[in-house]
A and B are shown apart, each in its own frame.
Chain A
Amino acid sequence: MTIADRSLDRGTFASVCCRRLILTAVALLSAIGHLGATDPPGKPRRIVSLNMCVDELILRLAEPQNIASVTWLSRDPKNSNVAELVAGVPVNHGLAEEIIPLNPDLVIAGIYTARTAVAMLQRVGIPVLQVDIPKNLDDVRRQIREVAGLIGEREKGESVIAAMDRSLAALPRPSSGQRPRAIVLNPNGATVGKGTLVDEIMTRAGLTNVAADLGIDSYGQIPLEAVAANAIDILIVSASRDGPPALATEILRHPVLSALSDRTRVVVMPGRLWNCGGPAVVEAIERLMQAAGEVRAEAPPK
Chain B
Amino acid sequence: MSHAPAFDVAKLAPVPPYGVLVAGLAILVVILMGASLAIGYAPLDLMQAVRDLLQGEKTLATLVLTELRLPRALLGCFVGLSLGISGAALQGLMRNPLAEPGIIGVSGAAAFGAVTVFYFGLAGALSLALPLGGIAGAAAATFLLYGLSGRGAGTMTLILAGVAINSFAGALTSLALNLSPNPYAVTEIVFWLLGSLADRSLPYVWLVLPLMIIGWGLLLISGPALDGLTLGEDTAKSLGFDLGRLRLQLIAGTALAVGSAVAVTGAIAFVGLVVPHLLRPLVAYRPGRLLLVSGLGGAALTLAADISVRLLPIRPELKLGVVTAIIGAPFLFGLIYRLREEEA
Asked if B188 and A247 make an inter-chain contact with CB atoms under 8 angstroms apart, the answer reads yes
Asked if B68 and A248 make an inter-chain contact with CB atoms under 8 angstroms apart, the answer reads no
Residues of A within 8 A of B181 (CB): 243-244
Query: Within 8 Å of chain A (Cβ to Cβ): is B40?
Result: yes
Interface residues of B in 182-202 (CB under 8 A from A): 182, 184-185, 187-188, 191, 199, 201-202
Query: Within 8 Å of chain A (Cβ to Cβ): is B17?
Result: no
A243 vs B119: C-alpha distance in the bound complex, in angstroms?
11
Residues of B within 8 A of A251 (CB): 199
Residues of B within 8 A of A225 (CB): 40-42, 44, 64, 68-69
Q: How many residues of A contact B (CB 8 A)?
A: 25
Interface residues of A in 175-201 (CB under 8 A from B): 187-189
Category for how many chain B residues contact A: 20 to 34
A251 vs B118: C-alpha distance in the bound complex, in angstroms?
14
Query: Within 8 Å of chain A (Cβ to Cβ): is B341?
Result: no
Residues of A within 8 A of B68 (CB): 224-225, 228, 256
- Encoded as 1 (CB less than 8 Å from any A CB) or 0, chain B from 197 to 209 comes to 0010111000000
Query: Within 8 Å of chain A (Cβ to Cβ): is B217?
Result: no
Asked if A187 and B184 make an inter-chain contact with CB atoms under 8 angstroms apart, the answer reads yes
Q: Within the complex, which residue of B41, B61, B184 is in contact with A246, where a contact is CB–CB below 8 Å?
A: B184
Asked if A245 and B124 make an inter-chain contact with CB atoms under 8 angstroms apart, the answer reads yes
Residue in B closest to A260 when the chains form the complex, CB atoms: B63
Where chain B touches its partner, the secondary structure class is: helix
A254 vs B202: C-alpha distance in the bound complex, in angstroms?
10
Name the distance in Å between A212's Cβ and chain B's nearest Cβ. Answer: 17
A243 vs B121: C-alpha distance in the bound complex, in angstroms?
10
Asked if B63 and A256 make an inter-chain contact with CB atoms under 8 angstroms apart, the answer reads yes
Residues of B within 8 A of A172 (CB): none
Query: Within 8 Å of chain B (Cβ to Cβ): is A226?
Result: yes
Residue in A closest to B60 when the chains form the complex, CB atoms: A229
Query: Within 8 Å of chain A (Cβ to Cβ): is B96?
Result: no
Name the distance in Å between A161's Cβ and chain B's nearest Cβ. Answer: 32
- Encoded as 1 (CB less than 8 Å from any B CB) or 0, chain A from 218 to 248 comes to 0001011110111100000000000111111
A256 vs B69: C-alpha distance in the bound complex, in angstroms?
11
Residue in A closest to B203 when the chains form the complex, CB atoms: A255
Name the distance in Å between B315's Cβ and chain A's nearest Cβ. Answer: 7
Query: Within 8 Å of chain B (Cβ to Cβ): is A259?
Result: yes
A243 vs B315: C-alpha distance in the bound complex, in angstroms?
27
Residue in A closest to B71 when the chains form the complex, CB atoms: A255
A244 vs B44: C-alpha distance in the bound complex, in angstroms?
34
Query: Within 8 Å of chain A (Cβ to Cβ): is B43?
Result: yes
Residues of A within 8 A of B41 (CB): 223, 225-226
Asked if A259 and B64 make an inter-chain contact with CB atoms under 8 angstroms apart, the answer reads no
- Encoded as 1 (CB less than 8 Å from any A CB) or 0, chain B from 38 to 61 comes to 001111100000000000000011
Q: Please name the 5 residue pairs, one residue from A and one from B, whose CB atoms are nearest each other, closest first.
A: A248-B184, A229-B42, A256-B67, A223-B41, A246-B182
Q: Contacts A244-B180, A245-B124, A248-B188 given; 19 further ones with Cβ under 8 A?
A: A187-B184, A188-B184, A189-B316, A221-B315, A225-B41, A225-B44, A225-B69, A229-B42, A229-B61, A230-B42, A244-B119, A245-B119, A246-B182, A246-B188, A249-B184, A254-B67, A255-B202, A256-B63, A259-B67
Q: What are 11 pairs between A and B in contact, CB < 8 Å?
A: A223-B42, A226-B41, A228-B63, A230-B42, A231-B60, A244-B119, A245-B123, A247-B184, A254-B201, A255-B202, A259-B63
Interface residues of B (CB under 8 A from A): 40-44, 60-61, 63-64, 67-69, 118-119, 121, 123-124, 180-182, 184-185, 187-188, 191, 199, 201-203, 315-316
Interface residues of A (CB under 8 A from B): 187-189, 221, 223-226, 228-231, 243-249, 251, 254-256, 259-260
